Amino acid sequence: MSLPQIIILGAGLGGTIAAYEIRDAVKGKAEVTVVNDQDDYWFVPSNPWVAVRWREPEAIKVHLPPIMKKKGIGFTSVGAKKVHAAENRIELNDGTSLNYDYLVIATGPELAFDEIEGLGPDGHTVSVCKTDHAAEAAEAFDRFCADPKPIVVGAVQGASCYGPAYEFALILDTELKRRKIRDKVPMTFVTAEPYIGHLGLDGVGDTKGLLESELRGRHIKWICNNRITGIEEGMMHCEELAGDGSVKATHDLPFGYSMLLPAFRGIDAVMGVEGLVNPRGFILADKHQRNPTFKNVYSLGVCVAIPPVGPTPVPVGVPKTGFMIESMVTAIAANLKLELAGKEPTEEATWNAVCLADFGDGGVAFVAQPQIPPRNLNWSSSGKWVHMAKVGFEKYFLHKVRRGKSEPFYEKLAMHALGIRKLRFK
């Protein structure tokens, strides 16, 4: 008698860890297979370092097939063409299909560069959303440094990931100082956020004060409630909105180098599947990470539909941070184990957030319990220790991926000692 089939769609930060943790949870009771569109895992949080050559792409890459094989996890890099949720089937890009008993969607997003004219690597700005984008950004930065001009960094309307924009602006400041050309480069930070440090979360601790102080101390001007109307070579056109949504001011910002985080949407393989996704293609999920319509479909990470924390003049999405995603993974693994035992899912992810934003010579850290307000814990701090902590975390997380381990016992003990848990108390 064949075992139930669990398919994990996507092998990024969440999908790779989910494969390891789910395999450990259901070993002997189900088969686990990962469907991805490439053979390699990339540690995306290090992409801003790649873009200024503090890291080479190969240093943050893990080749997954041999690790998955050793763990007893099936793996294909053919990629998914379409999820047929009503048929419990994934159609692959090579025309074949895989049937599943349970599906875990961890695809991450599609990058919506096309929603703003001139945005992205195919337009006039660079990106750090993917490691190959960051490598191209490094080439562009080298050319820029030979002929310094103004820089514009930020996140566009509808973006839901703001930390890397702040990181990259301040990493650029640090690197320009090292190259002795910071004095030749005016910098502007543009963001859809209603205030600096909002982060899509209505702030965490004093992120407003900490990040404003960092920008001010580094002579980086900023524009909030910013809506980008178009980008030409060397010129960005923006509208700054007032609280009532009216246009308060317009700005034409010249630049020689610009990195803007785009808005996200769901990938083509899930877009338009009724009952599975919202109009933007994000996966609908209940408190157990399970789809309300298709009860055998779970989801985690950036692809999950989460409503904004409140109305803002310019659309601002909600980020999904690393520890928050890992808490979703743990909840899904536990709930799949329950389902295979004939029980109903009961586990809920805490959605606690632990984040390190590196600035090259310092940084800001925050803990939000849970990530979405109101919170039980709302803390932030800054200092040079954050940079060292981010370096250490990079090495540690890559070590976990290479070992095929989701959460070593000492990590769990350390987090529990700090009162930071992945599952809610019942």
Q: What separation in angstroms does the CA of 296 have from each of 85, 183, 292, 335, 403? A: 9, 57, 9, 11, 29
Distance CA 268, CA 216 (A): 41
DSSP letters, 285-309, are --TTSB-SSSTTEEE-GGGB----S
- The span from the CA of 326 to the CA of 138, in Å, is 30
Tokens of 386: 């954050």
Distance (Å, rounded) from C-alpha 346 to C-alpha 181? 56
Entry field: residues in the chain: 426
Cis peptide before 308 (omega within 30 of 0): no
183: which residues sit within 8 A by CB, 6+ positions away? none
Which amino acids are annotated catalytic? Answer: 161, 355
Report the C-alpha gap between 24 and 72 in whole angstroms: 10
What is the spatial distance between Cα 33 and Cα 251, in angstroms, rounded to a whole number? 50
Two structure tokens written together for 57: 């792409």
Count CB-CB contacts under 10 A for residue 272. 11
Spatial separation of the C-alpha atoms in residues 228 and 408, rounded to whole Å:
44
